[in-house]
Amino acid sequence: MPARPAFLRKHSVKSQLRALIEQGIANLRAQGVLPADLATPDFVVERPKDRSHGDFATNAAMTLARPAKSNPRAIAQALIDALPANDDIGTVEIAGPGFLNFRLSAAAWQRQLRTVHAEGTRYGRNNSGQGRTAGVEYVSANPTGPLHVGHGRAAAIGDCIARVLDANGWAVKREFYYNDAGVQIENLTRSTQARARGLGPGSEGWAEDFYQGHYIADVAKAYLDGASVEIDGQTITGARDPENTDEIRRFAVAYLRREQNLDLAAFRVSFDVYYLESSLYRDGKVEEAVRELVAHGHTYEEGGALWLKSTDFGDDKDRVMRKSDGTYTYFVPDVAYHLTKWQRGYERAITELGADHHGSLARVKAGLQALDCGIPQDWPEYVLHQMVTVMRGGEEVKISKRAGSYVTLRDLIDETGADAVRWFFIARKPDSQLVFDIDLARSQSLDNPVYYVQLSHARICSLFRKATERGLSFDATAGLVQPLDIADSIVRNILIDLSRWPEIVETAGKELEPHQIATFLVELAQSFQSFFNEYHFVVDDADTRNGRLAIAHAVQQVLANGLGLLGVSAPEEMFFADADGAEAA
């Protein structure tokens, strides 16, 4: 008798189960139980919150009851009978008003375990993006000072979104937009010039709006010393002349761009494209966008100013584009900049911003729609993050010695390490307020989630070291054919979590929510901790050893894959003081 079909390896368990149910519905149509012209309903396949109810549940029968003119439980039984035979389905039960609860077979779970081992670092990745281009813009700070913790949260979120999109098969371009034009750059120039003239806060001639941080004095000193800065393949050298405003501006911007780049490198954040706002004016891109808006009839003049009819595109009021003095308002270069993204072939354009930028989004989108160049209404996409509050010893930390008025990203990295900062910045949904507790981030305790997840990875590595030290081998091939005790809830929970990983990656990519990765990793680490506490792994019996280590190795792989998507390291060795005071690897 030929083997019954099993789930295909290249798809998530959930998607495979959906395909099986769709085939069952098709069979019901063929049998006349359902109308022949009935379209397949939009049913749900989900994992029950209570795992004792099964591995998956669907409301498919309930969505079919009305067109079948039958009660849901009767249709549920008919659908069970119509499902194609499949060795991966253990049992199917009817629950409540007509839900179907599925439990997978031991063979299905064993196949899932083999898939993790076979795919390794590729496990969880998919090709839903099909190689299409997605541009992700993040941080994009004015080059007027050190990066603050808000920039750090933007960097972590944006970088992780890029990593997750890459894992979903998108061709990702990481982009930094430097706002190197406008009032803030002029203020930076004036502040640096004042320092170069020997002035400081409190001095006569020192304006209230000058930048106060000590870093301005550092910029001025480097300029006067004739220091050189390498940026964009160019060498910018301080002209030493405190009266040369143009050279001060050029040097100060280059100096602070380099400082920001160094901070981001320490944070493991890099970019493919650095785009200068000044280039939009230099290359005529702003004027080009304005000409197009005028040509398409979406502007008018009033009071000596040029206005955009943004209310025609959903904005709450029309917006000034060019003021009566001939200068452009700040959203106009943003429209021109996003137009370049469209022209550069970004099928998706995702911009990560602080929530304080929310007011400008409607007018930028209105400007893009008014260009009438085929840009979709939902383009670009925005991810907004809320502010960060830094705490130490139960009290808020508000200032930095270096920056003067805010806590810098480098402050946190120096105090807690890049791993902890990245984790805590990404671990909550972006639109949630974030409290960064320095004491928790530094603690080597199981209360610290990043430490807990990393320790789980290191503990698994230590199991294999201990086996080697005892002269005991690990045969993965033999381990992957050992019978799985799926009646053991501890084992089953790990297997369920391992099978969830591809779904987590896909959902995090679709919803642009990499915090789902962090949440999942904690849950997987908790499942492994129960497994670790319950069983011995480095045992003499080869079958037992290989079977348990095969599961542990799969957990290690998924932890490493997940930490990689967060840009957090997966250490192979760590130490933890347990309740008895002993050191455990």
Q: Is the peptide bond before 380 cis (omega within 30 degrees of 0)?
A: yes
Give every strand in the sheet of 45-46, ordered side by side.
45-46, 56-58, 99-104, 89-95
Give the Cα separation of 22 and 137 in Å (integer).
40
Tens of pLDDT along the chain (585 residues)? 344 555 544 556 788 899 999 999 999 999 999 998 888 989 999 999 999 899 999 999 999 988 888 899 999 999 999 999 998 999 999 999 999 999 999 999 999 999 999 999 999 999 999 999 999 999 999 899 999 999 999 999 999 999 999 999 999 999 999 988 888 999 999 999 999 999 998 899 899 889 988 999 999 999 999 999 999 899 999 999 999 999 999 999 999 999 999 999 999 999 999 999 999 999 999 999 999 999 999 999 999 999 999 999 988 899 999 999 999 998 999 999 999 999 999 999 999 999 988 878 989 999 999 999 999 999 999 999 999 999 999 999 987 666 667 889 999 999 999 999 999 999 999 999 999 999 999 999 999 999 999 999 999 999 999 999 999 999 999 999 999 999 999 999 999 999 999 999 999 999 999 999 999 999 999 999 999 999 999 999 999 999 999 999 999 999 999 999 999 999 999 876 554 333 455
Q: Is the pTM of this model over 0.85?
A: yes
C-alpha distances in Å from residue 218, one per residue of 195, 266, 331, 533: 9, 20, 32, 54
Which residues on adjacent β-strands are paired with residue 176? 274
What letter does residue 33 receive in the DSSP assignment?
Answer: S
Distance CA 67, CA 428 (A): 43
CB 110, CB 480: distance < 8 Å: yes
- Tokens 């179907």: give the residue: 100
| Residue 80, both tokens | 């069970």
Domains, the chain, ordered by start: 13-104 (3.30.1360.70), 388-442 (no CATH), 449-584 (1.10.730.10)
